[in-house]
Amino acid sequence: MKSYLVALFLLFALPLSAGAADGAKIGSVDIQKVLLTSDAGKVAKEQLGQRAGKYEGEKGSKEAELKKLKGELESQGALLNENARSAKERDYQQRLKDYQRFLKDAQEDLQAKNDEFTSKLVDEIVKVAQEYGRSKGYTAIFVKSEVLLYLDPAADVTDEVLKAFNAKKK
């Protein structure tokens, strides 16, 4: 009985949905393209690059310090007494550990900042796409992705959403 009711419902609903699809205006937006090519996306990328550059500078100085310590340890190792050599090795190992922790922390910080920027911008892009869809009379706007098997290229509204997003951010 239950399957009969479902079949009956589908029988009546099918013509309604087919009729609604005739007047449907459907589009797609490549969020990744808007993210990478928008003015706000470029600013975020530049800020991340500056932050990464700062970390690279610190990384270079820490590597130079480690290299110097290792060189001293290798050149003076035979000349130092057991206690002094052991102390220098402990100092080197501690600095190496600090360097590795610095690299891990820097990577995590950059990833977190990237995630923060991306999340914020994607939320804003989605809002702009929704406003665009409402104002232009779209029935649906999909995110362009590998899941979407086919959509007429004329339905791609990425460039229009990009223009609207850049205009909103100014």
Q: Which of 5, 109, 101, 95 has the alpha carbon at shortest distance from 52?
A: 109
- Predicted pLDDT at 27: 93
Task: Average pLDDT across each block of 10 residues of the chain; the chain has 170 residues. List them in order.
Answer: 36 39 83 95 96 95 92 79 85 94 97 96 95 94 85 91 91
Options 3.30.910.20, 3.30.2130.10, 3.30.420.40, 3.30.450.20; which CATH number does 22-169 get?
3.30.910.20
Stated pTM of the model: 0.72
- Predicted pLDDT at 9: 38
Strands 140-143 and 26-29, by their bridges, are parallel
**Domain residue spans in the chain?**
22-169
